[in-house]
Structure 1
Amino acid sequence: MLEDVAPFAPATFLRQQVEAHPEAPMLLAGDDQRTWAEFASRAAQVAQALRAEGVGPGDRVAFVDRNGLPHFETLFGCALLGAVHVAVNWRLAPGEVGAVLADAQARVVVADPGAGGVGGRLLPDQLAATGARRLVLLGPLPEGSAPDVPVVGYEAWLADRPAEDPGHQPALAEPAIQLYTSGTTGQPKGVVLSQANLATAMATARRVFGIRADTVSLVAMPLFHIGGIGWALAAMSQGGTSVVLRDVDPGVVLDLVERHRVTETFVVPAVLMALLAHPRIQDADLSSLRTVFYGASPIAEDVLVRCLDRFGCGFAQLYGMTETTGAITMLAPEDHDPSGPRRHLLRSAGRPLPGVELRVVDPADGRLLPPGQVGEVQTRSPFTMLGYFRKPEETAATIDPEGWLRTGDAGSLDEEGYLFLHDRIKDMIVSGGENVYPAEVENVLLGHPQVADAAVIGVPDDRWGETVKAVVVPAPGAPPADELAPALLAYCRERLAHYKCPTSVDLVPSLPRNPTGKVLKRVLREPYWQGHERRIR
């Protein structure tokens, strides 16, 4: 099977696409456009610049900035040289960025000093801990900064480099990219993905997702996330065109779909909700769309039905994680039928992709559970990461000797093999001995017309150990808290078993989310659990 996917390793498919259609458009980002030949020349210059810094196969090169052409130039420059590209979340706080850079031990750091947490005078201190040989700037350093490592501007760094491909031929077992987990439950970990991981994912995009040479892909997710870079590489691997969005703005998304006749995209449910709420959604021309892929966080059934009605194209849900190189299951477009007898599948994450094994086990004793019973979802496939960078104990705790990866997600499989996710195991609420999965309660709350967003958490309770609390963002025009909160409690009691129902409701202007749209429930829980024995995870 690995021989079949070998052509889809990034360096390999870049060379193939340049040979096949050098003048075809590859990338569009703002006002910038690159053909395959133009892009390959720039990537080769990056590779040569890295080699001049002493970077070789297996060395780490960190990148810190928003979505844009330099991200791809650096990634493919690493691929042509055999180096490992490390994408860093530019939205992290300065100390968090420093921790990631130190963990990655990058030889070269390419960064915009003004991007998120990298700003200010902290950048030199962060770099000092990495052992980096060179800081390549995508923007000016703040006045007065004096890094301890040599500094050069990005364009000056590339100016005299020959556009010559160094010719590294990737082995499928070698590392290709390193992405960091979101850190919502602790310190971020570097997930090392191999050439084989990426190549298998790219081959799957062709065989299962319908990505092909005429694809015009909108890249809306951040490129430090597997849903961003994995999705971007999917269209590139087939010779398609990628339209890169620097920052998500629903109006800009609609404009780009119309202007470039976008055929496929991948977005998180929060973006779908923002698009539905945008004034232009009613008259936007979305006729070019073939399939909208969505995932990375739960979606309310009501939101999905409204999207199906308005967008008029196929929808496909993808479920996966960084450690599985993205998607391992898909709910296909034909399973999105809100008016048919299988409407319940709208709550499913779909069935395993080819080559993926899934099982559900009791998290306490590892016992295999039958269809319908909720436990921890585990998976085994060619998509599974090599491991966490320099963390063998954490890797061993996540992947067992037989190759089964613990996802940390609570779910169940039905008789047909459809996966139904209930929540993260760590987010499960145990109230009076009963297990409550917040996603189920949140889905009910989001069906209320006066709720714009909602999260459910467990809070301390003297009688039950913990009880269910709803944290709700009211919709525009909703009544005041003293009217809305009791109305929502009554609404839930009509639709859920009593033990699952919230016992209190907090109204907030917005929910804390990470860049991929996942609610930071640890942040929501923390104020309530201070002074209590339960660890805030």
Structure 2
Amino acid sequence: SHRALMANGSALNQLWGFSQSDILLHTLPMFHVHGLFVAMHCAILSAAEVIFLEKFSVSETIDNLARATVFMGVPTYYSRLLSRDDFTKDICSGMRLFTSGSAPLTEQTHHAFHSRTGHKILERYGMTEAGIITSNPLHGDRIPGSVGFALPGVQMRISDDGRECDSGEVGIVEVAGNHLFNGYWQKPKETAEVLRDDGFLVTGDIGVMDEDGRLRLKGRNTDLIISGGENIYPKEIELHLDDIECVAESAVIGILDDDLGEKVVAVIVPNGIFLERKVKEALKNQVADFKVPSQFIIVEELPRNSMGKIQKSKLRDAYNEQAS
């Protein structure tokens, strides 16, 4: 609704300090909420200038960054920028804000970007049905692995089977406020499945809220692996895998297994030669034995959607079909 878009746009405009003197370098697709609403509403509501690129291009982005003050991207954009030697601190000297969303930003990318440019990427969390829900602060600590605090006007809770969780407990993220959608067009059943009677939206994202109110996401509810009766959150394993030198990128999925129900499988984009034995040894020092993948699959790249999100459903479908 107009109310939801205005509520979210106004909150972001103030929270991220937009003004008429800003120049937004816009490279996001306009068919997505991130590009059409989040980026453009911040610029429109503050009468800021927009440098609009038809699509993200590393070379064109580098060529235009020196003219801009704000850049909004997805993690893939930042990793691709970091792969270029001509992406330097000097061309970012006029920038005041880099934001990231639509997919998880790894701690490695966060630290590498800060080391290269002197800027800490501001990670936020949102979805089509609710706009932006949380954000790391403009002024203050931007903690890698955290998507920050609920926006002004946003109510947020973590629930487990209808019970509100305490801080530190893992559950499903639920949100309420004027920023929510009214429902899915002509889909009353689907709308009723995600909107509770008290007005809260069930996001389907698994998270944990720290004592200070910061949210940390564990993944999608659909990504949860149940192996031998144990709940396993793939993101925990992926974070440790991505820290290992011979791993460029990983996606952990559950594959059907006659004995365990699901077995833990890691799909790996290697960095050089992949050393499975060393990877397993490193993981055993970080996670419980039942979380260590029983199988590693090497690929050249992981499937992604237009916003850079890894499409785990495609991986699950492909490898479940092979296993059957």
TM-score, normalized by the shorter chain, greater than 0.5: yes
Unaligned runs of 5+ in 2: none
What is the CA–CA distance in structure 2 between the aligned matches of 1:531 and 1:281, rounded to whole Å? 41
Correspondence for 1:453: 249
Q: Closer, same or farther in 2 for the Cα pair 1:386/1:532, shift >3 Å?
A: farther
SS at match of 1:449: coil
Correspondence for 1:329: 134
Among candidates 122, 137, 150, match of residue 316 of structure 1: 122
What is the CA–CA distance in structure 2 between the aligned matches of 1:524 and 1:408, rounded to whole Å? 20
The answer (yes or no) to whether the contact 2:113–2:119 under 8 Å persists in 1 is no
Q: Alpha-carbon deviation of 1:333?
A: 4.4
Equivalent residue runs for 1:213-292 within 5 Å: 213-230=20-37, 231-258=39-66, 261-282=67-88, 285-292=91-98
What is the CA–CA distance in structure 1 between the aligned matches of 2:284 and 2:60, rounded to whole Å? 40
The answer (yes or no) to whether the contact 2:264–2:293 under 8 Å persists in 1 is yes
What is the CA–CA distance in structure 2 between the aligned matches of 1:264 and 1:275, rounded to whole Å? 15
Residue-by-residue CA offset, 1:138-179 (whole Å, 9 max, x unaligned): xxxxxxxxxxxxxxxxxxxxxxxxxxxxxxxxxxxxxxxxxx
The answer (yes or no) to whether the contact 1:470–1:502 under 8 Å persists in 2 is yes
Q: Alpha-carbon deviation of 1:422?
A: 0.4
Residue-by-residue CA offset, 1:341-379 (whole Å, 9 max, x unaligned): xxxx321111101000011111xx311111111111000
SS at match of 2:213: coil
The answer (yes or no) to whether the contact 2:89–2:117 under 8 Å persists in 1 is no
The answer (yes or no) to whether the contact 2:105–2:123 under 8 Å persists in 1 is no
Q: Alpha-carbon deviation of 1:284?
A: 5.1
1:204 paired with 2:11, answer yes
Correspondence for 2:286: 495
Once superposed, what is the RMSD of the aligned Cα atoms? Answer: 1.8
User: Which has the higher Rg, Structure 1 or Structure 2?
Assistant: 1
What is the identity, as a one-letter code, of the residue corresponding to 2:208? S
What is the CA–CA distance in structure 2 between the aligned matches of 1:449 and 1:252, rounded to whole Å? 30
Q: Alpha-carbon deviation of 1:507?
A: 0.9
What is the CA–CA distance in structure 2 between the aligned matches of 1:485 and 1:424, rounded to whole Å? 27
The answer (yes or no) to whether the contact 1:212–1:240 under 8 Å persists in 2 is yes
Equivalent residue runs for 1:464-479 within 5 Å: 464-475=260-271, 478-479=272-273
The answer (yes or no) to whether the contact 1:489–1:503 under 8 Å persists in 2 is no
What is the identity, as a one-letter code, of the residue corresponding to 1:357? Q
Q: Alpha-carbon deviation of 1:410?
A: 0.5
What is the CA–CA distance in structure 1 between the aligned matches of 2:140 and 2:80, rounded to whole Å? 24
Q: Alpha-carbon deviation of 1:334?
A: 4.5
What is the identity, as a one-letter code, of the residue corresponding to 2:30? L
Residue-by-residue CA offset, 1:175-234 (whole Å, 9 max, x unaligned): xxxxxxxxxxxxxxxxxxx11112112211221111111110011211111111121221
Correspondence for 2:177: 381
SS at match of 1:302: helix
Equivalent residue runs for 1:90-239 within 5 Å: 194-230=1-37, 231-239=39-47
The answer (yes or no) to whether the contact 2:208–2:216 under 8 Å persists in 1 is yes
What is the CA–CA distance in structure 1 between the aligned matches of 2:140 and 2:307, rounded to whole Å? 25
What is the CA–CA distance in structure 2 between the aligned matches of 1:264 and 1:283, rounded to whole Å? 15
Q: Closer, same or farther in 2 for the Cα pair 1:506/1:531, shift >3 Å?
A: closer
Segment of structure 1 superposing worse, 246-255 or 517-526 = 246-255
What is the identity, as a one-letter code, of the residue corresponding to 2:60? V
Q: Alpha-carbon deviation of 1:332?
A: 1.6
Correspondence for 2:277: 486
The answer (yes or no) to whether the contact 2:167–2:211 under 8 Å persists in 1 is yes
Residue-by-residue CA offset, 1:11-58 (whole Å, 9 max, x unaligned): xxxxxxxxxxxxxxxxxxxxxxxxxxxxxxxxxxxxxxxxxxxxxxxx
Residue-by-residue CA offset, 1:312-339 (whole Å, 9 max, x unaligned): 23431110100012x11011244546xx
Identify the structure with the greater helix proportion: 1
What is the identity, as a one-letter code, of the residue corresponding to 1:511? L
TM-score by length of 1: 0.58
